[in-house]
Amino acid sequence: MPSLEEVPATRRWWARAAYVAALLAVAVPLVAAGFAGTIALVITGVGAVLVAVAAIYWFLISRGVLRWGALALAVLAPLVVVALYIQGSLLREVVIAIALLLVALVCARAALRERGEGKAMAEYPAPSWGHAFLVMNPRSGGGKVVKFELQRKAEELGAEVALLEGPGPVDVDALARQAVERGADLLGVAGGDGTQALVAGIAAEHNLPFLVISAGTRNHFALDLGLDREDPTGCLDALRDGVELHVDLGKINGRTFVNNASFGVYAEVVQSPAYRDDKAGTVLEMLPDLIRGDKGARLQAQADGVTVDGPQAVLVSNGPYGSNDLAGLGRRTRLDRGVLGAVAISAASTREAVGLLRRATKHGLIQRAAAEVVVDADVPEIPVGVDGEALLMSTPVRCSIEPRALRVLVPRNRPGVPPAQPSLDLVRLRELAWGRHPTAPSAPSAPGPAGE
């Protein structure tokens, strides 16, 4: 994230315009109501805000019926206020206020949109290959391998395919290494990000091109490479008309990861059997524990000399996520920055944790771009979620980055990485509007290709 000196003046004015529009939205019905009516409207409005904030708080810290009842109350509170305003013959003013709020939202998104972050990664000529070896998981992604006939289509293009089937687990690492020993000069995976990471590490170790086929459930790695997650067949086009991208690889205690490694409450969530099929739902399930801080061992995280003692959750990513993404559920605009992204949540109070989750404060949030992150604990082993896989690792756990270590083969014609859509980050908006310096440093820009 750029400092205010580097932020164009237009973005600051967009942020200020958002505040002006929001203030006008509040002022219009108050002015129309007159003095006596204004007092009643203020009391009603303040009451609704208090009820909505309290309801959001209970939604975040509760589970079950109480959580969804609180959500219903948070939605109903502003609707009741609107109904009371209309009953007081302020329909026109309510419509104007809603229109002004929409204007405020448009201005805020214009201010928060980061310029130039989606610049495409450098492309290199695709290598020639003679023996492509592809690992395919028929169970991944709800059976995409079978649904899209990926095995047949890959074999028609001359690739050797190994299916991960059978009653027991298959040693993917051994399969890939044996293929390399037999002369494979290209490796690939149709499956989830965890399997992608295992084989990607072997491809990088032998300096072989790596093919990503988006046949998993979420395929965050494929999305960040600009691939089509809905049609994995298109990924096979790289075998006949492709280009190379040189992307970073994360390492955690010697193991490769392509997306992220999670600790604390994050990792506890990944241990849940429901996580693989419903990531968003399990994140909701994690919120009460995250806010109360009553899960797991006591952690200590160090990111390039910055120490965070006792965080409830730590997320280390292969390249930084957007500044508003605290759970690694979003995306990265580039995969060749040469740095890890690190997020540590260390809320000292429930109020602070709720403020973080509402994006109304940065107290208790540490975000860094780092070459190395070390996570230690007061126990010899801790649960870690590595690309969605639940593992136990010996402490201290060391995460590092291998810049541009992986040669990824992608189709020349592909959807590409979509531009980031900014979320309503009230802290950042306030910084832009009123000249307060951002507290979260950014990742350095990606280096150019060799020879530039």
Cα–Cα distance between 344 and 257 in angstroms, integer? Answer: 19
Question: How far apart are alpha carbons 442 and 320 in whole angstroms?
Answer: 8
Which residues neighbour 161 within 8 Å (Cβ) at sequence distance 6 or greater?
A: 134, 135, 136, 151, 154, 155
Same domain, 269 and 365: yes
Domain check: are 91 and 183 in the same one? no
Closest alpha carbon to 157 in 244, 245, 246, 234: 234
Distance CA 227, CA 233 (A): 11
Q: Does 248 share its domain with 261? A: no
pLDDT tens-digit profile of 163-206?
988 777 788 999 999 999 999 999 999 988 889 999 999 999 99
For residue 452, being part of any structural domain is answered with no
pLDDT of residue 209: 96
The answer for residues whose C-beta is within 8 angstroms of residue 244's C-beta and 6 or more apart is 123, 124, 125, 126, 127, 209, 407, 408, 409, 410
Amino acid at 208: L
Judge whether residue 371 has pLDDT over 80: yes
Question: And the tokens for 96?
Answer: 């104007």
| pLDDT (0 to 100) of residue 250 | 95
Residue with token string 């491809």: 203
366 in the same domain as 301? yes
Per mean pLDDT, which range of 21-25, 53-57, 375-379 is the poorest? 53-57
Give the residue carrying structure tokens 């490769």.
256
What average pLDDT does this structure show over 213-237? Answer: 87
Question: Is position 364 within any domain?
Answer: yes
Q: Would you say residue 446 lies in a domain?
A: no
Q: Which of 252, 276, 299 is the last residue of a domain?
A: 252
Q: Please count the other Cβ atoms lying within 10 Å of the Cβ belonging to residue 451.
A: 4
Q: Whole-angstrom Cα distance, residue 228 to residue 378? A: 43
Residue 268's pLDDT is 67
Task: Give the count of beta carbons closer than 10 Å to the beta carbon of residue 156.
Answer: 10
Using one digit for the tens of pLDDT, what is the confidence trace for 289-344? Answer: 655 555 568 899 998 888 888 888 888 999 988 655 555 556 787 899 999 999 88
Nearest of 293, 217, 258, 254 to residue 408 by alpha carbon = 258
Nearest to 140 by CA among 162, 159, 164, 160: 164
Q: How far is CA 22 from CA 94, 97, 318, 430, 442, in A?
A: 13, 8, 38, 13, 29
User: Are residues 263 and 395 part of one domain?
Assistant: yes
Note whether 294 and 336 are same-domain residues: yes
Can you give 202-232 as a three-state secondary structure string? HHHHCCCEEEEECCCCCCHHHHHCCCCCCCH
Return the bridge partners of 249, or none.
402
Of the candidates 208, 235, 252, which is a domain's last residue?
A: 252
Task: Return the SS3 of 187.
Answer: strand
Give a yes or no: residue 88 inside a domain. Answer: yes
* pLDDT at residue number 451: 35
Residues 237 and 353 in one domain: no
- Compute and round to an integer the Cα radius of gyration of the chain: 25
207 and 82, same structural domain? no
Q: Which has the closest alpha carbon to 315: 296, 280, 342?
A: 342
CA atoms within 13 A on the CB side of 377: 23
What's the Cα-to-Cα distance from 61 to each of 289, 353, 441, rounded to whole Å? 8, 10, 30
| Among 261-270, 275-284, 337-346, 442-451, the range of highest mean pLDDT | 337-346
Q: Taking the model in full, what pTM does it have? A: 0.72
Amino acid identity at 267? A
Q: How far apart are CA 222 and CA 10, in angstroms?
A: 34
Q: What are phi and psi of 196, to 5 degrees?
A: -55, -45
List the CATH number of the domain containing 291.
2.60.200.40
How many structural domains comprise the chain? Answer: 3
Q: What is the pLDDT of residues 17-50, one digit of tens each?
A: 988 998 888 888 777 766 556 676 677 777 777 7
Answer with the one of 222, 252, 282 that is the final residue of a domain.
252
CB < 8 Å & 24+ apart, contacts of 55-63? 56/354, 56/358, 57/350, 57/354, 60/287, 60/288, 60/291, 60/353, 60/354, 60/357, 61/287, 61/288, 61/291, 61/292, 61/350, 61/354, 62/288, 63/285, 63/288
Q: Among 255, 213, 267, which Cα is nearest to 408's?
A: 213
**Burial (CB count <10 Å: 0-12, 13-18, 19+), residue 444:** exposed
Same domain, 288 and 396: yes
Residues 341 and 207 in one domain: no
pLDDT tens-digit profile of 382-409? Answer: 989 898 788 899 999 999 999 999 999 9
Domain range spanning residue 217?
A: 123-252
What are the pLDDT digits (tens) for 147-172?
999 999 999 999 999 998 877 778 89
Q: Is residue 102 part of a domain?
A: yes
- Same domain, residue pair 351 and 326: yes
- C-beta separation of 216 from 140 below 8 A: yes
Q: Which residues contact 212 (CB under 8 A, 6 or more apart)?
A: 188, 189, 196, 221, 222, 225, 227, 235, 408, 410
Residues 137 and 239 in one domain: yes
Domain annotation covers residue 323 = yes
Asked if residue 412 is part of any domain, the answer here is no
Of the candidates 331, 328, 315, the residue with the CA atom closest to the CA atom of residue 397: 315
- Tell me how far apart the terminal alpha carbons of the chain are, to the nearest angstrom: 24
Give the 3-state secondary structure of residue 274: coil
* Mean pLDDT of the chain, nearest integer: 80
Q: C-alpha angle 102/104/105, rounded to 5°?
A: 65
Q: In the block, which residue shows the tokens 């023996």?
A: 131
User: Quick check: 192 and 385 in contact, CB under 8 A?
Assistant: no
Q: Is 207 inside any structural domain?
A: yes
